[in-house]
A and B are shown apart, each in its own frame.
Chain A
Amino acid sequence: MPKDGGIGASPKRREDIRFLTGEGVYTDDIQLQGQCFAYFVRSTVAHGTIGTIDTAATEAMPGVLAVFTGEDFKDVGGNPAGWLINSRDGTPMREPKRPVLAHGKVRHVGDAYAAVIAETYAQAKDAAEQLAADSEIEDLPAIVDMAAAVANADNRVHDEIPDNLCFDWGWVEDNRAAVDEAIKNAPHVTTLELVNNRLVPNAMEPRASIGEYFPGTGDYKLTTTSQNPHLHRLLISAFVMGIPENKLTVVAPDVGGGFGSKIYHYGEEALVLAAAKKLKRPVRWTAERSESFLTDAHGRDHVTKIELACEEDGTFIAFRTETLANVGAYLSNFATATPTFLHGTLMAGPYKVPNVYVNLKTVFTNTAPVDAYRGAGRPEATYSLERVIDKMCRELELDPFEVRRKNFITPDMFPYTTPVGLVYDTGDYNATLDKAMEMADVDGFEDRRAESAARGKLRGMGLSTWIEACGIAPSNLVGVLGSRVGLYDAATVRVNATGNISVMTGAHSHGQGHETVFPQIVAEKLGIDPASVEIVHGDTSKIPFGMGSYGSRSLAVAGSAMNNAVDKIIAKGKKIAAHMLEASEDDITFEDGNFAVAGTDKSLSFGEVAFSAYVPHNYPLETLEPGLEETSFYDPGNFTYPAGAYLCEVEVCPETGKVDVVAFYCADDFGNVMNPLIVEGQVHGGVGQGIGQALCEQTTYDADGQLLSASYMDYAMPRADDVPFYQVDYSCNTPCTHNPLGVKGCGEAGAIGSPPAVINAVVDALNSGGFTHITHIDMPVTPSRVWTAMQAQ
């Protein structure tokens, strides 16, 4: 055991010191000798034909070094979609090419069709304005509304895709007939049409990239805001630019939040590399916030009809959904996986519903690409389910707590195969529900409601019992499901000669605190001081090939790889110790940082064994290599299945329609918890984003495809006074059965479970106030929406 700070401890975060003193190094903080600046010329129309781009005046402007247009990249590869999805009829999805810079047509406001490189940022920006003025873009009608996009065969985002459909997916297609039949014959069917509002991830650090080229060696280096530097390198090398992987280093230094938006490769990254090669100078670009709004991959944007068939007592018989999912103008890297295998597969929730069918049409529009944003598909599934269940309870006058309990999969049923293709390994949904109800003092709710009423406020309580699949994933399973990559991760544990340790991990930390929590695990296993363990991440020249951090996978996948690499270190250490102690390897034990011969007082410290590995004077060189460094690649046997119960209390002002979230309770099952402080922070952050989605965040394009919410003045981010203190519990743990740490992942939970709890609470409040005509209200529940709904009585 480490003296302190091992598994389950909450040491002070190491990374905090540099962030709190201004010593963090984010991409835009890096200044390089000879650097120059890129500025992108972006479409101001949603859809248009690119005519002549006259670069002459721009090239003559002060400081201008180079001008690039789409023509320059016409022949390089496109930025690919990472998952191949087939339509119900078996035909593969439509995959239009996503170029580095648009050529031929621009397809959304913000679509970059040219770039200017200049000595200073201001010169690049001034010159880009000139180039925009000298570019002919002929306006075409914009395709914004999804239903219209599918219906209108003449107006196409991509000329080769007649109905603007990427695919029409059925999950599971074999369930379709049985589900239709069950719904036809069910004693009760509740139907709900809802919108999962489009969001902008809004990591506080805007995307930024620096390209470098070293003519002496032909090497390239990209420093960029990435959640997964190896994935960026692979995409740039194998698909977009053809730079051999061994000639390209991708570094993601300190990254100021990602939430999905920094998983993907974007054209700006390719451009700065190409420009660096051409100019033989470092070329840098940092997004202005308005560019982030226009070009970062957005999230959600589903329009769904869900039907729930049940018995009169609330026992579920079947769920059926029809969804239109927006992918925007181009396929971002995970765009086709997010609405399908991260959404359709979760549509059974934590419930023993006999049958489920999901139909999902994915639609191209003249809007920014849409992809995974914290939760990615799972919030959409949870929201549809938890809202329709709530509506059903209201229609049948059933208790929402009891209905959940009646339908929960119970612990005796695991492993449990759902009708939508997942095998849940473990969970205890009643336990988290009990815990949430206890935390929230559900019995005292009527008193609190009366107290709110005395102040003229309508109080409501909303429940959401959520489940997700994360820790993605088994590569062979995701391969069958259409993934074009493996989803393992890797770690190298290097024991240095003096016994301290460097761990190179494929995971990337952009707020999650890996530099603190990963050493806790290594130290616990080796019985050493966590301070002697250092985490190296974010640099492809230093770390093994791993898939990075998203989908709550860092601990479950990369952490497991690290665990297994440490096991290899211990196994090798036993061999070395056996030789040194002149004992049989089978008799060597490893405990509390010591290798010992069982039943004797002969032992060696971990440091002594490490030293011997590097100074192998008394060492079994005939049978064992010197050195103490091990790598493990870990490919999980299954997804992990965190789950929980969230309860929200709101107050609604009947005069203005303003909603205040006054209390929020989370009871989660994340499996084993490595660091409670960090787990709590992850839940808080997710819930904050979920409340933002429910209350205020809304990405709005007008009918011409202009983004009306392209700044913090127009897009309402949740602020400190929009949210309460949250109560968080993670004691109802059922450890994951198939990874060595028993962990499930906690990064997305809050964003998945919270939106339906908020909306269920709002509907409850309004109904309690006599507004019984309100059965649903779409997010975000702004005062104007609530007020308008109340007036419709």
Chain B
Amino acid sequence: MSKVTITVNGREMSGEAEGRTLLVSFLREALGLTGTHVGCDTSQCGACVVHVDGKAVKSCTMLAMEAEGAEVTTVEGMADADGSLGVIQQAFQDHHGLQCGFCTPGMVMSTAALLKDNPTPSEAEIRAYLDGNICRCTGYHNIVRAVMAASGQDVSGLGVVAAE
């Protein structure tokens, strides 16, 4: 066991990790940040996506020790400063982009990474980008719609929008 220190959502945090401890386990178990989920053991599902030094990373593919000193953003850090939902989170709620919520943290983090590089992605670009995030509940329709809405695109005709 050795000590790993990272900055998570703007706050420096430390915990103990074995050489084999994955970043996702470190976040969940050592730091108690359980918003990041584990949906698979082959780096396929994307439930564990976080940002490490600004890049979207599947946190099950990285060792905790590799993140030493890094800036990590998790879904817990995505709300606005006043605690209200951020733009992407709000779009997911407005457009029913989540059901059971298990894939959702990864979807939100992947979307944030996509929109950083490509502020107004096309439907096809969104679908291609989210290829590494599996959702079993939504059939993806409302996730893609939410990403389009979050990037300011017109999504009328694609279904009901949640009322205020």
Are A122 and B20 in contact, CB atoms less than 8 angstroms apart? yes
- Contact among A5, A255, A286, A685 for B139, CB-based, below 8 A: A685
B45 within 8 A of A: yes
List the B residue with the shortest CB-CB distance to A30: B34
B38-73 CB contacts (< 8 Å) to partner A: 38-42, 44-45, 47
Q: Once the chains bind, are B102 and A257 in contact (CB under 8 Å)? A: yes
What is the minimal beta-carbon distance from A677 to any residue of chain B, in angstroms?
A: 5
Chain B residues with CB below 8 A from A684, complex form: 138-142
| A10, B32: Cβ atoms closer than 8 Å | no
A510 to B99, CA, bound (A): 8
Chain A residue nearest in CB terms to B94: A12
Q: Which of A17, A20, A256, A259 has the most CB of B within 10 A?
A: A20
B37, B99, B158, B162: the one contacting A685 at CB < 8 Å is B99
Taking residues whose C-beta sits less than 8 angstroms from the other chain, chain B's interface range is 35 or more
B14 CB within 8 Å of chain A? no
Q: Assuming the A-B contacts A10-B160, A680-B159, A711-B40, are A511 and B101 also in contact, with contact meaning beta carbons closer than 8 angstroms in the complex?
A: yes
The answer to whether A204 touches B162, judged by C-beta atoms less than 8 angstroms apart, is no
A255: min CB distance to chain B, Å: 7
Q: Which of B35, B42, B160 has a CB less than 8 Å from the CB of A23?
A: B35
Question: Which of A9, A21, A254, A680 contacts B75, CB < 8 Å?
Answer: A21
For chain B, residues 75 to 129, give those with C-beta under 8 angstroms from any C-beta of chain A: 75-76, 78-79, 85, 89, 92-94, 96, 98-105, 108, 123-124, 126-128
Q: Are A510 and B92 in contact (CB under 8 A)?
A: no
CB distance from A287 to the nearest CB of B (A): 10
Within 8 A of B (CB), among A283-305: 286, 288-290
* B139 pairs with A723, CB closer than 8 A: yes
The yes or no answer to B12 lying at the interface (CB within 8 A) is no
**Least Cβ distance of A42 to chain B in Å?**
14
Please name all residues of chain A whose beta carbon is closer than 8 Å to the beta carbon of B78 when the two chains form the complex: 20-21
Q: A16-B101, A20-B104, A256-B100 are in contact. Are A204 and B136 (CB under 8 A)?
A: yes
Once the chains are docked, how many angstroms separate the CA of A290 from the CA of B103? 18
Say yes or no for B134: interface residue by CB 8 A criterion: yes
In the complex, the answer to whether A256 meets B101 with C-beta atoms within 8 Å is: yes
A10 contacts B162, CB within 8 Å? yes
Q: A25–B140 Cα gap in the complex (Å)?
A: 23
Decide: B136 and A203 in contact? CB cutoff 8 A.
yes
Contacts of B28 in A (CB 8 A): 28-29
Contact: A257 with B99, CB < 8 Å? yes
Partner of A289 from the list B42, B89, B102, B128 (CB cut-off 8 Å) is B42
Most A CB within 10 A of own CB, among B100, B124, B127, B142: B100
Chain A residue with the shortest CB-CB distance to B45: A712
Cβ-defined contact, B32 with A11, below 8 A: no
A678 lies within 8 A of chain B by Cβ: yes
- Check A720–B162 contact: CB distance below 8 A: no
- A289 to B94 Cα, complex, angstroms: 31
CA distance A236 to B126 in the complex (A): 45
Cβ contacts under 8 Å, A726 to chain B: 139, 141
In residues 717-743 of chain A, which contact B (Cβ within 8 Å)? 717-721, 723, 725-726, 728
Q: What 0/1 readout, one digit per residue, does chain A (772-784) give for beta carbons within 8 Å of chain B?
A: 0000000000000
Q: Is the CB of B138 within 8 A of A713?
A: no
B163 touches A289 (CB 8 A): no
The docked-state distance in angstroms from the alpha carbon of A9 to that of B163 is 8
Q: Which residues of A contact B108 (CB under 8 A)?
A: 20
Chain B nearest CB from A683 CB (Å) reads: 8
Q: Which residue of B lies closest to A11 (CB)?
A: B163
How far apart sit A17 and B162, CA to CA, in the bound complex (Å)? 13
Interface string of B145-164 (1 = CB under 8 A from A): 10000000000001111111
Indicate whether A204 sits within 8 Å of B39 (C-beta atoms), given known contacts A5-B163, A719-B131.
Answer: yes
Residue of B with least CB distance to A715: B44
For B125, the closest partner residue in chain A by CB is: A721
CB of A31 within 8 Å of the partner chain: yes
When chains A and B are docked, how far (Å) is the Cα of A277 from the Cα of B41?
30
Task: Point out which of B44, B79, B105, B139 has the most chain A C-beta atoms below 10 A from its C-beta.
Answer: B139
- Least Cβ–Cβ distance between A495 and chain B, in angstroms: 26
Q: Which of A31, A202, A684 has the most CB of B within 10 A?
A: A684
Instruction: With A31-B32, A289-B39, A677-B162 as known contacts, state yes or no: A16 contacts B45, CB within 8 Å.
Output: no
Q: How far is the CB of B42 from chain A (nearest CB, A)?
A: 5
- B147 → chain A closest CB, angstroms: 9
Contact A21 B35 (CB under 8 A): yes
In the complex, how many angstroms separate the beta carbon of B7 from the nearest chain A beta carbon? 17
Q: Say if the beta carbon of B143 comes within 8 Å of chain A.
A: yes
Quick check: A511 and B162 within 8 Å, CB to CB? no
Most chain-A CB neighbours within 10 Å: which of B40, B79, B136, B140? B136
Enumerate chain B interface residues (CB-CB to A < 8 A): 18, 20, 28-29, 32-42, 44-45, 47, 74-76, 78-79, 85, 89, 92-94, 96, 98-105, 108, 123-124, 126-128, 130-131, 133-145, 158-164
Q: What are 25 pairs between A and B in contact, CB < 8 Å?
A: A12-B164, A13-B93, A13-B162, A16-B92, A20-B89, A22-B34, A23-B35, A31-B29, A205-B37, A256-B103, A257-B136, A257-B137, A289-B45, A680-B96, A680-B142, A680-B160, A685-B138, A688-B140, A691-B139, A711-B44, A712-B44, A717-B136, A720-B126, A720-B128, A720-B143
Residues of A within 8 A of B (CB): 4-5, 9-13, 15-26, 28-29, 31, 122, 201-206, 254-257, 259, 286, 288-290, 510-513, 676-678, 680-681, 684-689, 691, 711-713, 717-721, 723, 725-726, 728, 750
Closest 9 CB pairs of A and B: A22-B35, A688-B139, A19-B101, A256-B102, A511-B100, A712-B44, A511-B99, A29-B34, A684-B139
